[in-house]
Amino acid sequence: MLPFTVVALDLNQAGLAREAYRLQCRAHALEAEWLDYPSLPWLWASPEAVPASPLEVTGAFEGEHLCGLLAVSREQGRVHIERIVVDPDVHQRGWGLRLLNELLAREARVTVETAEANAAAIALYHKAGFILEKRWQGADGLALWRLVCERGDDRDGPTLTLGADGRIEQARFVPSPNCNDYPPGPPPGLLVVHNISLPPFRYGGDAVERLFTNTLDPSADPYFADIHALRVSAHFFIRRDGELVQFVPVHRRAWHAGVSRWHGREGCNDFSLGVELEGCDFEPFCHAQYSTLIALVGALERRGPLELTGHSDIAPGRKTDPGPCFDWARLRRGLAG
């Protein structure tokens, strides 16, 4: 059973319509309080209005629990987000971004309008790649923003430069002690793509950085109790918003591959670089991550050509990442220019 699902909702199902309406009511009360705006519009005025609505609604489930929903309207090819609703009990666990990412993976251009005072919503949209298109004052004096996200060319990523010290100059450097020298020989010619999220399937926070720097608090989450003593690292980590973090200079050997084999050669740490993508096996990666990864490979290949593969390919049966949602064809198109 998948740990979560993001699926289109059939709101003609009475039970599902009631659950969607209940979730809207709980989230609406909280948002109206945040904004000090009691007249915040409703998606649905009553439970009976839910199945009659023309909106397309996607739901995010953890097991059978409806954690959030996203409602969009369409008009002459225009896709507009009418509302993102997240259960207040699971706020700050990435459900809003998960819903947005599913939409943005299949739509080339999406717009949304929100109140300027809704800092949490604006931060979420910025993280997903939305930019401000228009600002105006509503009739009731509320400052409003229209934001837009257009899927750009994956090659329009950041300009990255590899320095003589083995560090990407534009990356945020968080040094990991979990590294050592490569065996004598040419520079690594293999780049291994992984995915990681800590706790599993939750994004944001500093847990990955803490794991790779041996500072993970085992009491912070039940999952951490089993992994906090691991001594692992990767050269790079690309967050959902495309931020690049570097832990190990490229002339040092990171501990990312474990027991592994490639083209008959054992121990891939000895001849590879490792890049972790914030994500999991069960949902698409973000446009910003592909853009940064393409730019990173371009910067690294100035040292020499790189063969690209996944963790699952060098440790079959033991590892599954980066998983079936990673689009290798998309990556290769971007690298081909």
Q: Which positions are catalytic?
A: 276
Q: Evaluate whether 172 touches 243 at the Cβ level (below 8 Å).
A: yes
The alpha carbon of residue 118 and the mean position of all alpha carbons in its chain are separated, in whole angstroms, by: 22
Task: Work out the number of other CB atoms within 10 angstroms of the CB of residue 122.
Answer: 18
Label the pairing between strands 307-310 and 190-196: parallel
HEC string of the chain equals CCCCEEEECCCCCHHHHHHHHHHHHHHHHHHHHHHCCCCCCCCCCCCCHHHHCCCEEEEEEECCEEEEEEEEEEECCEEEEEEEEECHHHCCCCHHHHHHHHHHCCCCEEEEEEECCCHHHHHHHHHCCCEEEEEEECCCCCEEEEEEEECCCCCCCCCCCECCCCCECCCEECCCCCEEECCCCCCCCEEEEEEECCCCCCCCCCHHHHHHCCCCCCCCCHHHHHCCCCCCCCCEEECCCCCEEECCCCCEEECCCCCCEECCEECHHHHEEEEEEECCCCCCCCHHHHHHHHHHHHHHCCCCCCEEEEHHHHCECCECCCCCCCCHHHHHHHHHC
Q: Evaluate whether 160 touches 244 at the Cβ level (below 8 Å).
A: yes
Distance CA 334, CA 156 (A): 9
